[in-house]
């Protein structure tokens, strides 16, 4: 007997997959999802039933439909609706009373019930205010950039105002697996002949047509951009297409991409690329990805796999069909008839045009002439270009456009909103700058082992997210198992990403977006990762013994972790030549790339991000002279005590353990 998939049958019947699944469930047909298969006789039965329903039954009148609706009780019609109120991080009792139209004396009495004695001018924090207004039938939301103008932006759109919108897709995967080639193939295959050659303006996003429907692709340079936007609270992607080369299989960046997509809660479609190669093995890719929770639908899972050759332009249509299918199942909708809200994808200062930014519209319709604000930047839309470089007058939900008319260059991830006029836009931008300054002064610190116990006590931490990097796969697996066993009733330890190799910028960005700590086992952060970690206040811990990692995590969770010493990196030097010296051994000819190398420091040998040795400096020389320290930008000779296995390209990191004064 032949079979047909649910989504294929839905297409035949001219109904949505979601509706067909609902019909099948009513008939007690055992299916998992839209990729499940149906026998021919069952498919024929469904077709007959739906044909009967379409042709034989008269549609119900509005009066009949109304009569069938369940009646609400008198109590439910008269029940007061919960009102929303936006409050700043701190507010006085007097101002709070004005905002919710309640006499301050009533608020003071209620606070006395809570055990707080305050006067009319006393300030309370947001959490206290939220609890207080709840007693009077209000739901409080904290004021932020999106809520500076007015309350209407916070309110939800009415279901009847929502219409389908195009899906926004991000292509991710390991370097050299064909992400860019695939995007180029999609563009060349799907851009109409009349528009070929019209792609003159690169705006960081592109839109294509398939079966009369639009799909938007974000041309993000990689996982960093994807996570950087998410770290700023911008949810821009609906679907991730994970590109895996059929001849290469799963690689470190593939795993990284999976973890980034999962952390963002975005569905994944796997594009198995390079199937034209002689050594291509798509089944091996499926087997490898199944280990990371991406199980093909033919194996009983719900992940769609599509075989493609970006080079030969094969499988592209099928991939686009699957994207539209996943989008249909997600029921992506937005309100087109409201003031536009979008997110800044890219921004730059153009020599001839001034500040320009690529905006992905998320709600409403953005029009030329609209007053706009994004972070501390404001202005009026002077002109807009679409992804093919053509001037457009308006852009609806999911559509990317390059916008001109900003007062200054906004930041990627900033939320763009249309407001009533430029004066209002300027006021909001100035208020945004003020809030940003305040936040910098009283910035909430990210989770760290030092602060973990306090946050657990305050109920702020229920999950301890960890990004784990190790020197070899064996250590990584052992650490994962050991750390996951540290979970308690109060705190769940979650390894949100694990990988082999040095701690890099991508790890820090993921930690920032997920409020995680980074643990390195026999590996070190590279220079860029270290700088970014300081900037983002990310806690990086490095270890050489598995038990020390487990002990520290457990001690931190119990409030017993009291670090008395903290490692301070003094500098780094690169090994550029090796010399054999009698009675000394191997001396490394080095160039100090950052900081300084001091004679009394401990030295760490790092090879391709992995720590291969730690020990003491035997000798430090400039030319033939012994010196106490060598600064950045100078050359020197370094010999390491009891270690001669140095290689050109090794990085020598000098550090000391500094005592931390107890508070």
Tokens of 397: 């939900």
Q: CA 413, CA 425: separation in Å to the nearest integer? A: 18
Long-range CB contacts for residues 542-545, cutoff 8 Å, separation at least 24: 542/567, 542/611, 543/519, 544/611, 544/614
Q: Is the backbone of residue 331 left (phi > 0), alpha (psi -120 to 50) or beta?
A: left
Beta-sheet pairing, 213-218 with 168-173: parallel
Distance of CA 165 to the CA centre of its chain: 21
Long-range CB contacts for residues 275-282, cutoff 8 Å, separation at least 24: 275/246, 275/307, 275/308, 275/309, 275/314, 275/315, 276/309, 276/311, 276/312, 276/314, 277/246, 277/247, 279/247, 280/246, 280/247, 281/246, 281/247, 281/249, 282/246, 282/307
Tokens of 18: 């979601």
Q: Which residues pair with 659 in a beta bridge?
A: 565
Q: CA 84, CA 147: separation in Å to the nearest integer? A: 12
Q: What is the CA angle 539-173-282, rounded to 5? A: 135
Residues 6+ apart with CB under 8 A from 196: none
Q: Which residues pair with 4 in a beta bridge?
A: 38
Stretch (H or E) spanning 624:
none
Known binding positions for GTP: 173-180, 219-223, 273-276
Say if CB 469 and CB 507 are below 8 A apart: yes
Strand ranges (E), 134-247: 138-142, 162-164, 168-173, 205-210, 213-218, 239-245
Coil vs helix vs strand at 320: helix
Q: CA 43, CA 398: separation in Å to the nearest integer? A: 35
Q: CA 468, CA 486: separation in Å to the nearest integer? A: 15
DSSP-assigned states of every residue in 225-269: HHHHHHHTT----SEEEEEEETTT---HHHHHHHHHHHHHT--EE
Beta-sheet pairing, 463-470 with 492-500: parallel
Known binding positions: 173-180, 219-223, 273-276
How far is it between the farthest Cα atoms of the chain? 102
Q: CA 267, CA 260: separation in Å to the nearest integer? A: 11
Q: CA 598, CA 606: separation in Å to the nearest integer? A: 17
How crowded is the C-beta side of 121, counted as CA atoms within 13 Å? 0
Other beta carbons within 10 angstroms of residue 131's beta carbon come to 14
Nearest to 402 by CA among 414, 417, 390: 390
Nearest to 190 by CA among 207, 172, 204: 207
% helix, strand, coil for the chain, step of 5: 35, 35, 35
């Amino acid at each position: 007997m032949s079979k047909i998939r649910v989504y294929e049958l839905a297409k035949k019947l001219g109904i949505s997959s979601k509706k067909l699944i609902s019909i099948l469930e009513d008939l007690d047909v055992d299916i998992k999802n839209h990729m499940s298969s149906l026998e021919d006789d069952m498919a024929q039965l469904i077709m007959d039933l739906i044909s009967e329903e379409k042709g034989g039954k008269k549609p119900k009148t509005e009066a009949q439909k109304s009569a069938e609706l369940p009646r609400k009780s008198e109590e439910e019609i008269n029940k007061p609706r919960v009102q929303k109120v936006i409050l700043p991080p701190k507010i006085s009792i007097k101002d709070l009373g004005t905002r919710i139209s309640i006499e301050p004396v009533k608020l003071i009495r209620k606070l006395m019930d809570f055990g707080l004695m305050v006067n009319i001018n006393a300030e309370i924090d947001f959490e206290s205010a939220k609890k207080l207004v709840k007693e009077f039938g209000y739901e409080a939301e904290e004021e932020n950039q999106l809520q500076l103008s007015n309350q209407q932006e916070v309110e939800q759109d009415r279901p009847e105002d929502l219409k389908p919108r195009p899906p926004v897709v991000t292509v991710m995967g390991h370097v050299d697996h064909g992400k860019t080639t695939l995007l180029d193939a999609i563009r060349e295959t799907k851009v109409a002949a009349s528009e070929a050659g019209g792609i003159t303006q690169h705006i960081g996003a592109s839109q294509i047509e398939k079966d009369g429907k639009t799909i938007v692709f974000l041309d993000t340079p990689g996982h960093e951009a994807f996570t950087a936007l998410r770290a700023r609270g911008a949810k821009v992607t609906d679907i991730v297409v994970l590109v895996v080369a059929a001849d290469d299989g799963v690689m470190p960046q593939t795993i990284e991409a999976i973890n980034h997509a999962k952390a963002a809660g975005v569905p994944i479609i796997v594009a198995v690329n390079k199937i034209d190669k002689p050594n291509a093995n798509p089944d091996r890719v499926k087997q490898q990805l199944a280990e990371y929770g991406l199980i093909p639908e033919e194996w009983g899972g719900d992940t769609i796999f599509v075989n493609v050759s970006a080079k030969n332009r094969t499988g592209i249509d099928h991939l686009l069909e699957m994207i539209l299918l996943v989008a249909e199942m997600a029921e992506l909708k937005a309100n087109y008839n409201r003031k536009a809200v979008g997110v800044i994808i890219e921004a730059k200062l153009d020599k001839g045009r001034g500040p320009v930014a690529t905006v992905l519209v998320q709600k409403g319709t953005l029009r030329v002439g609209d007053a706009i604000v994004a972070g501390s930047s404001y202005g009026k839309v002077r002109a807009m270009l679409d992804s093919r470089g053509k001037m457009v007058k308006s852009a609806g939900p999911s559509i990317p456009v390059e916008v001109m008319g900003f007062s200054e260059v906004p930041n990627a991830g900033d939320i763009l909103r249309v407001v009533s006029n430029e004066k209002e836009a300027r006021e909001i931008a100035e208020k945004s700058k003020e809030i940003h300054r305040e936040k910098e002064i009283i910035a909430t610190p990210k989770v760290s082992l030092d602060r973990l116990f306090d946050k657990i006590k305050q109920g702020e931490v229920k999950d301890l997210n960890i990004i784990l990097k190790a020197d070899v796969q064996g250590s990584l697996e052992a650490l994962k198992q050991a750390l996951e066993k540290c979970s308690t009733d109060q705190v769940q330890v979650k390894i949100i990403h694990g990988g082999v190799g040095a701690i890099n910028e991508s790890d820090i960005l993921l930690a920032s977006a997920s409020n995680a700590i980074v643990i390195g086992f026999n590996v070190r952060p590279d220079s860029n990762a270290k700088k970014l970690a300081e900037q983002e206040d990310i806690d990086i811990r490095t270890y050489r013994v598995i038990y020390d990692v487990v002990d520290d995590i457990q001690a931190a969770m119990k409030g017993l972790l009291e670090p008395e010493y903290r490692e301070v990196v003094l500098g780094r030097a690169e090994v550029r030549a090796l010399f054999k010296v009698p009675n000394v051994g191997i001396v490394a000819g080095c160039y100090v790339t950052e900081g300084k190398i001091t004679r009394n420091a401990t030295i760490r040998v790092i090879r391709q991000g992995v720590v291969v040795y730690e020990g003491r400096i035997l000798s430090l020389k400039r030319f033939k002279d012994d010196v106490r320290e060598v600064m950045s930008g100078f050359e020197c000779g370094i010999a390491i005590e009891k270690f001669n296995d140095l290689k050109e390209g090794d990085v020598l990191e000098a550090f000391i353990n500094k005592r931390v004064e107890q508070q």
